[in-house]
């Protein structure tokens, strides 16, 4: 396959020769193609690397089911955990099916790599992990699904969960997760002992949900950074949400950013609607890896979300008050190259020898693509078209 | 025309008989249609009233032009005003054309009524008003365009603007606007004297942009409410944005809401990305009319925005932390019935004798339509299809 007349993110125009699922050549558009009978002419459309969702919950979504109204009694994380238990108890369709619906939808929008948190607690056991492992197996040739064993009900306050997290890693989860060590679990050291203990023992990375805001949240971020250095896990730890960074003064945010950068702790933001957004441009400027994710999509937590990471980049940019092209570029990098670094995706990007994975859209620039979120003309995986005009075709 | 098998927002299923552009009958779906040869069967799709955009800037948009990067030097309103002047000076396509592009796009997404602010200052004079009057004339059989004479560069600090605002009303603008009486104009009384003076003299309504936050913003809201009562304009005054309501404590917000409700001052929110959102549910609970609008769409102020008011309802709901169906319903009402009341649209709604204006989507409920923003299957104006599957067809 040869993709002709593609415009790359930097504005250069290239023909892309694909062999055995990899980029075999990036040719000037003056190159003679008359001898080729496998040309796909994209006629000046923008060709982007595949989108990367750094935070999704494949086991939570209710996508494809008739509308399920949100029934949470209050507005706290604990209220939503309780509401989700009810929805889960009423499920008649397994998580592997609704999660598969979501995978097909996100592939159609250009996402080929994702990190999915998967609920694990002492009621559920490893059930949701098993469901998501089925999804991963089903789509193994199409998408990367990295699994975080996520203690949605806490660890210390939910006896037996630490052992389950450990067992989850043994059964195929890639990282160990965490959740508000103070706000939910009420025991900072106990929570981090468990999380980092498993991570060190199993040699896996860490990704901790941290909703706790203000100085309390900052203290937890600093503790996570300290643990990261102590356990030699620089570059393998992420904190998702980290609303605290958006709720403190700029000096505190900057000092904390410097600590996170030094420890190699990455920050995931989905551009929260009802909470403070971390100062993404500042974090990046101070050397912190920031990346994007969908978070909840049509589940017991949120009625919103589509899994479209160009839309997510727009939401992140909108919430971060981004307006300039360089800012929209940052939002785009959060859902592409930066997320690929955090997820350690090999062979990512538009470069010689990289995987022939592409998203093709009608847009004049990356900034325009983020702002307008055009329909994906083509999604290509390993040189094969897997979605066309927004419709899954794999 | 008879629209068969429509599901209304309240869940009831009806055939809708249309005569002379109005709803002539709402029939049970057991009614015999065999004698009719003008049936449009929507097969159980959701039929909604047309969307209403309570705050758009038809003269600012650059829609349809090649991407124009944002060049504002800083993040203040004054920086954006300066940047917009440059973009305006470089225009080669008149505002009437780019604004028409936007009208076609919003009609395709189901909006049939809008309130457009139009820039007026002592450099522009009435140029933009004349351009938007052309748009209004061009689409007069298709959409309602209510025009607010908007002093984008202030009034007191921009000599001659008050006279221009007055002249704008004489030439066809429907309301007089205002802009941060303190933050931009530096003269609360002087600004409001001018705005309410013109409104009283000309017998028109008022819609004031208020970005100023905190207690200072609250003081301006209270002053606007006081002027509204003093001038006997209850129900004819709106404040757009009113970020201040989202940046003060709940007690202050509640007290201010009670004053606004008593004065009949409505509040417009677009679900701001980088500023505080007013507490919409609280405002409504206290009797304040809250309505929605797009604000900037692809212009020198913002790269974002599409003019799709279902998407806007989602953004409002996302920012307001809405999750329950009743909350999504509120967001929906902000872009439909509530906005229609503020704009005083006659014959609005799905009722006997009302205009045969409809938006048809595939969704099981209003809440689902807000969350998923499905493509508009049909947009119908006065019994005629004006857009189909998201494509303008008038």
A387 and A278 together in one domain: no
User: Residue A76 above 90 pLDDT?
Assistant: no
Q: Residue B380 and residue A376: Cα distance in Å, rounded?
A: 28
Q: Which of these three, B305, B327, B342, is where a domain ends?
A: B342
- Predicted pLDDT at B77: 82
Do B120 and B155 lie in one domain? The reply is yes
Say whether both A206 and A87 belong to one domain.
yes
CATH number of the domain residue B384 falls in: 2.30.40.10
Calpha distance A130→B367 (Å, rounded) = 32
Closest CA to A270 of A235, A317, A208, A329: A317
Question: In B, which residues are within 8 Å of A365 by CB distance?
Answer: 67
CA end-to-end distance (rounded Å), chain B:
17
DSSP per-residue letters across B111-154? EEEEEEEEE-BTTTBTHHHHHHHHHHHHTTTT-EEEEEEE-TT-
Contacts of residue A97, defined as CB under 8 A and 6 or more positions apart, other chains included, come to A64
Is B318 in contact with A69 (Cβ distance < 8 A)?
no
Interface-testing mutation among B44, B246, B273, with chain A (most A C-beta atoms within 10 A): B273
* Residue of chain A whose Cα is closest to the Cα of B70: A324
Nearest CB neighbour to B69, from listed A66, A67, A367: A367
Which residues of B fall within a CB distance of 8 Å from A323? Answer: 70, 72, 301-303
Residue pair B361/B370 in contact by the 8 Å Cβ criterion? no
The residue in chain A having the minimum alpha-carbon distance to the alpha carbon of residue B277 is A274
Q: Which residue of A has its CA nearest to B320?
A: A274
| β-strand partners of A149 | A118, A176
Residue pair B171/B145 in contact (Cβ under 8 Å)? The answer is no
Question: Do residues B44 and B57 both lie within one domain?
Answer: no
Same domain, A20 and A104: no
Q: Indicate if the alpha-carbon torsion angle A325, A327, A328, A330 is positive or negative.
A: positive
Model pLDDT, residue A75: 84
Query: Pick from B69, B70, B318: which is nearest to A304 by CB?
Result: B318
- Whether A323 and chain B come into contact, CB under 8 Å, resolves to yes
Q: Do A274 and B321 touch (CB under 8 A)?
A: yes
CA nearest to A204, candidates A231, A224, A229, A223: A231
Q: Are residues A251 and A279 in the same domain?
A: yes
Residue B138 and residue B150 share a domain? yes
Tokens representing B279 are 């507490």
Å from A371 to nearest chain B CA? Answer: 5
What was the ipTM of the complex prediction?
0.97
Domain count of the fold of chain A: 2
pLDDT-derived band at A78 (thresholds 50, 70, 90) equals confident
Residue A77 predicted with pLDDT over 90: no
Substitution target in B46, B62, B70, B277 with the highest count of A β-carbons within 10 Å is B70
Domain end position, chosen among B342, B362, B384? B342
If asked whether residues B104 and B136 sit together in one domain, one would say: yes
Q: CB-based contact (8 Å) between A273 and chain B? A: yes
**Are residues A134 and A218 both part of a single domain?**
yes
Digit-coded pLDDT (tens) for A141-187: 999 999 999 999 999 999 999 999 999 999 999 999 999 999 999 99
- According to DSSP, the β-strands at A384-388 and B265-269 are unpaired
CATH code for the domain in which residue A102 is found: 3.20.20.140
**pLDDT tens digits, A2-27:** 999 999 999 999 999 999 999 999 99
Does B365 contact chain A (CB < 8 Å)? Answer: yes
pLDDT band with cut points at 50, 70 and 90 for residue A226: very high
Same domain, A144 and A11: no
Q: What share of chain A is helix, strand, coil (3-state, %, to 5)?
A: 35, 25, 40
DSSP string of B315-381?
Answer: HHHHHTT--SHHHHHHHHHHTTHHHHHHTT-TT-SSSTTSB--EEEE--SSHHHHHHH---EEEEEE
Verify that A12 and A152 share a domain, yes or no. no
Which ranges constitute the DSSP H helices of A172-242? 188-202, 214-230
Cα B136 from Cα B171, distance rounded (Å):
13
Judged by a CB distance cut-off of 8 A, whether residue B73 touches chain A is no
Across the interface, whether the CB atoms of B372 and A306 are under 8 A apart is answered: yes
The pLDDT value given to residue A237: 98
For residue range A110-135, list pLDDT tens digits in order.
Answer: 999 999 999 999 999 999 999 999 99
Q: Residues B97-139: pLDDT tens digits?
A: 999 999 999 999 999 999 999 999 999 999 999 999 999 999 9
Its domain, for residue A236, covers: 51-342
Listed residue (B235, B250, B251, B253) closest to B291, CA to CA: B235
In angstroms, the separation between the Cα of residue A226 and the nearest Cα of chain B is: 32
| CB-based contact, A365 to chain B, within 8 Å | yes
Check residue A353 and give its pLDDT: 98
| The pLDDT value given to residue A225 | 98
Query: Which residue numbers in chain B have pLDDT < 70?
Result: none
Residue B36 token pair = 């009719």
B130 lies in the same domain as B220: yes
């Amino acid at each position: 396959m040869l993709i002709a007349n593609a415009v790359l993110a930097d504005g250069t125009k290239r023909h892309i020769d694909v062999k055995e699922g990899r980029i075999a050549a990036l040719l000037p558009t003056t190159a003679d193609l008359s001898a080729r009978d496998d040309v796909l002419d994209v006629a000046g459309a923008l060709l982007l690397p595949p989108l990367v969702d750094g935070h999704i919950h494949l086991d939570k979504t209710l996508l494809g089911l008739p509308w399920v109204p949100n029934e949470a009694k209050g507005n706290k994380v604990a209220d939503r955990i309780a509401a989700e238990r009810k929805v889960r108890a009423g499920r008649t369709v397994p998580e592997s099916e609704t999660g598969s619906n979501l995978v097909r939808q996100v592939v159609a929008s250009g996402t080929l790599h994702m990190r999915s948190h998967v609920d694990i607690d002492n009621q559920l056991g490893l059930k949701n992990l098993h469901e998501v492992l089925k999804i991963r197996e089903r789509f193994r040739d199409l998408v990367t699904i990295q699994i975080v064993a996520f203690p949605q009900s806490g660890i210390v306050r939910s006896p037996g969960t630490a052992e389950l997290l450990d067992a989850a890693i043994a059964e195929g989860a890639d990282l160990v997760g965490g959740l508000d060590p103070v706000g939910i679990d009420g025991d900072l050291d106990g929570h981090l002992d468990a999380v980092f203990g498993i991570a060190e023992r199993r040699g896996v990375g860490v990704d901790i949900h941290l909703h706790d805001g203000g100085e309390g949240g900052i203290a937890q971020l600093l503790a996570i950074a300290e643990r990261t250095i102590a356990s030699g896990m620089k570059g393998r730890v992420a904190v998702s949400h980290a609303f605290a960074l958006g709720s403190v003064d700029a000096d505190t945010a900057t000092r904390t950013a410097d600590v996170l950068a030094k420890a190699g702790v990455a920050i995931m933001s989905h551009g929260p609607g009802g909470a403070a957004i971390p100062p993404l441009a500042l974090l990046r400027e101070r050397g912190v890896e920031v990346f994007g994710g969908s978070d909840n999509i049509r589940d017991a937590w949120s009625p919103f979300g589509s899994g479209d990471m160009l839309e997510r980049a727009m939401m992140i940019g909108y919430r971060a008050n981004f307006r300039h092209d360089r800012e929209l570029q940052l939002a785009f990098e959060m859902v592409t190259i930066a997320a690929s670094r955090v997820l350690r995706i090999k062979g990512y990007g538009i470069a010689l020898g990289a995987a022939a994975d592409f998203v093709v859209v009608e847009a004049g620039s990356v900034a325009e693509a983020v702002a307008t979120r055009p329909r994906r003309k083509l999604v290509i995986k390993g040189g094969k078209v897997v979605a066309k005009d927004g419709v899954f075709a794999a």
